[in-house]
């Protein structure tokens, strides 16, 4: 991932620019830190109303409190423009972190002063060190009760050594900060101040971008944005030369094709917005519009010197789901886009910007295989599509196997669990049944156990909700892809069957009252159901068919006690992730803008029994 020098190239440094990415595990405070840097650098007016976590601009990001897409902003300090890229912390969105690494010269590694190094800390740091980026370590949440900054610095140092950092990288500077309170310091005991020590450390320790200002243009696009007025916008760093608005350039595509295009508009990042500029030079992070068919990983070059840059290789997906056209009895009633043409166009459009996702055609025109980094990665796509008016059905998530040296291999995950010591036995028993192996165990202050397992990725499908139940909501689990290993054997992931509706109609209190003793219900009275729809979870490990639409027969008898009030146990409302975890191999999840319905692939009871008979 290193650029070839052009003949006669003279490298010079841009001392007025710094390009950095903020990387960390989820919830360690990246977006909050960017908030404070923007506020204290004078980006906003004194009377301007600014939301918290202003970089999380997407509705889903604000609802879930997580970052999903990497985003660019900039602050100016002491006459130096600092371009900042805020990145996601979940392992599922690791592709976002990998691709933006080509835009920056250094990274701010944020580590929670209490939690220390977590799985995603390891992942993002390994990518940064491999690309020779200069690290600056920030120990965040220094004011948190139970903070242990000295131990955490030792953990970070051990991690650097383990990941093979060179001598320059191991000599990393450390800043102590509280992003929420808005101060940073070289002193771990400081509890007041502002962010100036951190901004100064960025200027002092992160190298300025360098390149040949007067050489032929090279601009690699690492990110894409879309605007309804100007179309697709490519975002990247100028590696060599200068680019001007209206200039004719050559677009070098990843398949080797080259075509002449025009730079219609050129923007630089200022605070939270983009400002139009006439030209930009080496080291600048810019946005370019007006280039048709532009994709991530492509380069625009000088017309006389088409010299494309190599793009960082993105890790392969590990989990796949099949997206089907909805064929249930209620199909087309709630969604706006329901045909296979609509579904195909939307999925292939997603792949253009979502580099770690893959979409493949199947034997039928009504189904598409979508592969991603994990359940969260795929569920965010499903949720986004349903909000856009799409209606479709998805199958159970499946891991992607590989054959290496003639043997079947499966993806493994490093699972890190933090639970109160009372629940350790229950957690170890469940993970052991899912072929997990304990690799490390320790205790933290406050009676918390820290467990590290290596477990097949398929063993984690459907486990999160069980884990929260087993630990009464006190447990925290994080996982990270840990390579491929030989197949570990069969795993039984679901211990309960489904309660299935017998006929199409409206559920009644009477029908549900007679069904609720058979297990846990997912619907209440007055809900439209159809034959083959799953309305609950059976207490036994078998599927049962129930009459949930049954009405009480009318009689003229008025005997005392014969008309007791029907008391229904409150039903469980499943979230999208819980529905995906519940699915079995012969089931589908019907997704519409207003509903989530679980159903059998074969709706008719007779046809299901015939298929079982053929298999048996």
Quick check: 213 pLDDT over 90? Answer: no
pLDDT tens column, 81-123: 888 887 776 666 667 777 788 888 898 999 988 888 877 778 7
Name the maximum alpha-carbon separation found in the chain.
Answer: 103
Distance CA 304, CA 324 (A): 48
Distance CA 600, CA 586 (A): 6
Distance CA 164, CA 182 (A): 33
Quick check: 56 pLDDT over 50? Answer: no
pLDDT tens column, 128-140: 888 888 899 999 9
Quick check: 530 pLDDT over 90? Answer: yes
Q: State the average pLDDT over residues 578-599.
A: 91
Return phi, psi of residue 103, to 5°: -85, -15
Q: Are 142 and 189 in contact (CB under 8 A)?
A: no
- The pLDDT of residue 339: 92
Distance CA 166, CA 162 (A): 11
Q: Where do the DSSP E strands lie in 504-613?
A: 505-506, 519-521, 528-529, 533-538, 544-546, 587-591, 596-600
Quick check: 46 pLDDT over 70? Answer: no
Tracing tokens 């398949």 back to the chain, one arrives at 255
pLDDT tens column, 438-475: 988 888 766 788 888 999 988 888 788 788 888 888 88
pLDDT tens column, 293-318: 788 888 888 888 888 888 777 777 88
Q: Which residue would you say has higher pLDDT here, 61 or 17?
A: 17
- The pLDDT of residue 349: 86
Distance CA 467, CA 430 (A): 8
Q: Are 485 and 493 in contact (CB under 8 A)?
A: no
Q: State the average pLDDT over residues 567-573.
A: 87
Assign 340 to helix, strand or coil.
helix
pLDDT tens column, 283-292: 888 888 888 7
Q: State the average pLDDT over residues 47-62.
A: 50
- The pLDDT of residue 322: 94
Quick check: 2 pLDDT over 50? Answer: no
* Burial readout 2-18 (b: 16 or more C-beta within 10 A, e: otherwise): eeeebeeeeeeebeebb
With bands split at pLDDT 50, 70 and 90, how would you rate the model's confidence at 352? confident
Distance CA 290, CA 266 (A): 9
Quick check: 246 pLDDT over 80? Answer: yes
All structural domains of the chain = 12-210 (3.40.50.300), 212-301 (2.40.30.10), 402-486 (3.30.70.240), 498-615 (2.40.50.250)
Distance CA 108, CA 125 (A): 10
Q: State the average pLDDT over residues 323-350.
A: 91
- The pLDDT of residue 320: 92
Assign 463 to helix, strand or coil.
helix
Pair of tokens at residue 409: 């291999």
H-helix or E-strand spanning residue 403: strand 402-404
- The pLDDT of residue 329: 92
pLDDT tens column, 162-191: 888 888 888 889 999 988 888 888 988 888
- The pLDDT of residue 8: 53
Residue partners of 585: CB distance under 8 A and separation at least 6: 396
CA atoms within 13 A on the CB side of 260: 5
Distance CA 474, CA 362 (A): 42
Nearest to 261 by CA among 290, 219, 298: 290
- The pLDDT of residue 533: 94
Least confident of 18-22, 104-108, 149-153, 353-357: 353-357
- The pLDDT of residue 336: 92
- The pLDDT of residue 305: 84
pTM of the predicted structure, to 2 decimals: 0.78
Let me know if 79 is exposed, middle or buried by CB neighbors in 10 A (0-12, 13-18, 19+). exposed
Q: State the average pLDDT over residues 322-339.
A: 91
């Amino acid at each position: 991932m290193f650029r070839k020098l052009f003949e006669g190239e003279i490298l010079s440094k841009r001392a007025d620019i710094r390009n950095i990415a903020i990387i960390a595990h989820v919830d360690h405070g990246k977006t909050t830190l960017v908030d404070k840097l923007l506020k204290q650098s004078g980006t906003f007016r004194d009377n301007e109303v600014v939301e918290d976590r202003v970089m999380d601009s997407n509705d889903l990001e604000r609802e879930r409190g997580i970052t999903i897409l990497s985003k660019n902003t900039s602050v100016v300090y002491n006459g130096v423009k600092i371009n900042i890229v805020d990145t996601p912390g979940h392992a599922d969105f690791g592709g976002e972190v990998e691709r933006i690494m080509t835009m920056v010269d250094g990274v701010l590694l944020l580590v929670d002063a209490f939690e220390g190094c977590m799985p995603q800390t390891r992942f993002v740091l390994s990518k940064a060190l491999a690309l020779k980026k200069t690290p600056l370590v920030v120990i965040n949440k220094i004011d948190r009760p139970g903070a242990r900054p000295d131990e955490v610095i030792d953990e970070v140092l051990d991690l650097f050594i383990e990941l093979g950092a060179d001598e320059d990288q191991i000599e990393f500077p450390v800043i102590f900060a509280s992003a929420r309170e808005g101060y940073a310091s070289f002193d771990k005991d400081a509890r007041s101040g502002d962010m100036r020590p951190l901004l100064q450390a960025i200027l002092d320790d992160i190298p300025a971008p360098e390149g040949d200002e007067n050489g032929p243009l090279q601009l690699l696009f690492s990110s894409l944005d879309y605007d309804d007025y100007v179309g697709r916008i490519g975002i990247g760093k100028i590696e060599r030369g200068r680019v001007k608005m209206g200039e004719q350039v050559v677009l070098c595509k990843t398949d080797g094709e080259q075509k002449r295009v025009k730079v219609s508009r050129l923007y630089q990042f200022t605070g939270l917005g983009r400002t139009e500029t006439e030209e930009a030079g080496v080291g600048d992070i810019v946005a370019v519009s007006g280039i048709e068919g532009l994709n991530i990983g492509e380069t625009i070059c000088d017309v006389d010197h088409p010299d494309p840059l190599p793009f960082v290789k993105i890790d392969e997906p590990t989990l796949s789901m099949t997206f089907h056209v909805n064929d249930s009895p209620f199909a087309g009633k709630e969604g706006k886009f329901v045909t296979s043409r609509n579904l195909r166009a939307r999925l292939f459009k997603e792949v253009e910007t979502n580099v770690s996702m893959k979409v493949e055609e199947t034997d039928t025109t009504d189904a598409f295989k979508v592969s991603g980094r994990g359940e969260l990665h795929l569920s965010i796509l499903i949720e986004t599509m349903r909000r856009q008016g799409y209606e479709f059905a998805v199958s159970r998530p499946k891991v992607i196997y590989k054959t290496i040296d003639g043997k079947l291999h499966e993806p493994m995950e490093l699972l890190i669990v933090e639970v109160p010591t009372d629940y350790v036995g229950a957690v170890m028993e469940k993970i052991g049944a899912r072929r997990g192996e304990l690799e490390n165990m320790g205790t933290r202050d406050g009676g918390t156990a820290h467990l590290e397992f290596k477990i097949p990725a398929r063993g984690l499908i459907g486990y999160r909700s069980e884990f929260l139940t087993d630990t009464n909501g006190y447990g925290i689990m994080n996982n990270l892809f840990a390579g491929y290993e030989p197949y570990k054997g069969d795993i039984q992931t679901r211990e309960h069957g489904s309660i299935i509706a017998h006929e199409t109609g409206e559920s009644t209190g009477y029908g549900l009252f007679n069904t609720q003793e058979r297990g846990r219900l997912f619907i209440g009275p007055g809900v439209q159901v159809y034959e083959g729809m799953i309305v609950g979870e059976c207490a036994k490990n078998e599927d049962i068919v129930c009459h949930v639409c049954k009405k009480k027969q009318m009689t003229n008898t008025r005997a005392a006690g014969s008309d007791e009030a029907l008391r229904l146990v409150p039903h469980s409302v499943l979230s999208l992730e819980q529905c995906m975890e519940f699915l079995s191999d012969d089931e589908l999840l019907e997704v519409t803008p207003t509903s989530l319905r679980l159903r059998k692939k074969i709706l008719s009871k007779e046809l299901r029994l015939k298929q079982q008979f053929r298999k048996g």
